[in-house]
Structure 1
């Protein structure tokens, strides 16, 4: 029972850490390039080009490549997860 509780707590804390990491990376590298404010309306607007989780991953990868951001794959994944958890809510 204690091992199950410990495992559950570790998984939850690592997911929280990854989301916080994604949020910080997004703040440092993404927001600076966009002129308009990034809020719920920016990400969930009607004319969004993103319609699913694949589109979101592709967009983050395109931005990382175009801006020559040196993120590791797990950092890109953290940003995708942050954006998805915070705004898009796409199924994976």
Structure 2
């Protein structure tokens, strides 16, 4: 059974995928917010796992995140808010 942290990481990745799919629609006034959130959540991406892999050694899924579940929850809320802002912006243009 997945832990709360694992579920939240899954949500982070889902929302990031949605935002990345429409990244060309992110208005300039929201790009700084997106860049900050993208940097804060980069450690959850699968590419981060492969960058730390060593040839010939077994690779364990280790996520280099030291925050709490509460902080993860805040990241999810911030990403959801940004996703909604980008959706609203797309409708108006």
Q: TM-score normalised to the size of structure 2?
A: 0.31
Q: TM-score normalised to the size of structure 1?
A: 0.31
